[in-house]
Amino acid sequence: MINNRLEEIGGYPFDRLRILLDPYQPAPSFTPISLSVGEPQHPPPQLVREIINENFELWGKYPLVRGTPDFRSAIVSWLETRYDLPQTMLDGEDCVIPVSGTREALFMIALAVVPEKIHGKKPAVLMPNPFYQVYLGAATLAGAEPIFVDATLETDFLPNFQTQPTELLERTALAYYCSPANPQGKVATLETLKNIINLARDRNFIVLFDECYSEIFHQNPPPGGLEACAALGGSLDNVLVFNSLSKRSNVPGLRSGFVAGDPKLIKAFKTVRDYGGAPPPYPLLAAAAALWRDETHVFQNQMLYRQKFDLADQILENSHGYYRPEGGFYLWLNVGDGEEAALELWRGAAIRTIPGKYLSRENKSGKNPGSSYIRCALVHDKKTTEEALSRLVKTL
């Protein structure tokens, strides 16, 4: 017996990529370079090692789902400083919960908030298209209908939920919103975030702001969901934000993030996690709290990404629709046929990229908005990045 909803989701993008590329040898004259996975290769901060070792004894304890007061207070302080929030807005007891990476949290939250029916109809979950594929898995396995809202060049690379039909908004349970966006790197303005929150409150759905790229930006710090709540008067109703150390601090293997926002939603989420969650172990939480309290390594990280995008500016210039993203570390290149280009880059230049088609789904007009794109993650050091981009331009 297999859950039939799994068929509706289809294969995960990296499995589809293996099926596409693995029957072929990469170009033998080159060392393979993978730009397919958004896994930062910059070194993790040393303090992680030290703090985990210092807290060795705590491996002997089952961690609480709520984590530690120290972790929650590090998150509240970071959020207050980063988004200039009033100190009364976030209660560290009720408004914050640690998670073992935001991937599982973005998935599990749907189990906590999607009801069986809304006004007697199947609930809908809105998401951008292209999008982080976990949203689709979460919506479908929670029994909702996933609704793919174009986030294309024509829509300024962000989804517009406001223009969705009333019938749909009335049965919407939740909406995923990613800024800076993966893969397009677009950053939503504070005004846009406020409009989404207003819509969610008017229509009585929940909005989940996926902000794991918030600290990788090129000019101005991207606004966030909680900042928009503050600008709207401070209520946290209907809003949760998800953030992570994976990209900010180059520790994707630490599996550490948090969810913050509406205490009613945090409570429901905690109940799901009480039954099925894997809360972060205490030594990792201690390291995570220290990372959220340190901005020096984050600043150095930002500098490194900016230098790599300077290289991309020079090497790619205006080719393949190249633009420098406002946030995040991806290139989203329009190459005509993304699958064909990914195959060619692998066979001809030993560069692994991911076809945009695998990160999107067909929209209502039957078009997959990612088909003509490839996504390239600039996660390596400068030298490797330069080498990869030069090969990529020559091959394409």
Ligand X SMILES: Cc1ncc(COP(=O)(O)O)c(C=O)c1O
Interacting residue ranges for ligand X, rule: CB under 6 A? 38, 101-103, 106, 132, 178, 182, 210, 212, 244, 246, 252, 257
Q: Which two tokens stand for residue 91?
A: 């209660």
Helices (H), the chain: 5-9, 13-21, 47-54, 69-83, 102-113, 134-141, 166-170, 190-203, 225-231, 245-248, 263-276, 282-292, 296-316, 338-349, 382-395
Shortest separation between residue 246's beta carbon and ligand X, angstroms: 3
- Give the separation between CA 233 and CA 89, rounded to whole angstroms: 10
Nearer to ligand X by Cβ, of 133 and 152: the residue is 133
Shortest separation between residue 223's beta carbon and ligand X, angstroms: 17
Nearer to ligand X by Cβ, of 106 and 289: the residue is 106
Q: Which two tokens stand for residue 210?
A: 């996926």
User: Is it true that the peptide bond before 98 is cis, omega within 30 degrees of 0?
Assistant: no
- CA 312 from chain centre, in angstroms, equals 22
Nearer to ligand X by Cβ, of 171 and 176: the residue is 176
Shortest separation between residue 107's beta carbon and ligand X, angstroms: 10
Shortest separation between residue 329's beta carbon and ligand X, angstroms: 10
Closest to 241 measured CA to CA, from 216, 267, 265, 273 = 265
- Give the separation between CA 258 and CA 393, rounded to whole angstroms: 38
Contact 246, 257 (CB under 8 A): yes
Shortest separation between residue 242's beta carbon and ligand X, angstroms: 7
Nearer to ligand X by Cβ, of 149 and 350: the residue is 149
Nearer to ligand X by Cβ, of 172 and 250: the residue is 250
Closest to 44 measured CA to CA, from 55, 34, 52 = 52
Shortest separation between residue 264's beta carbon and ligand X, angstroms: 23
Nearer to ligand X by Cβ, of 255 and 308: the residue is 255
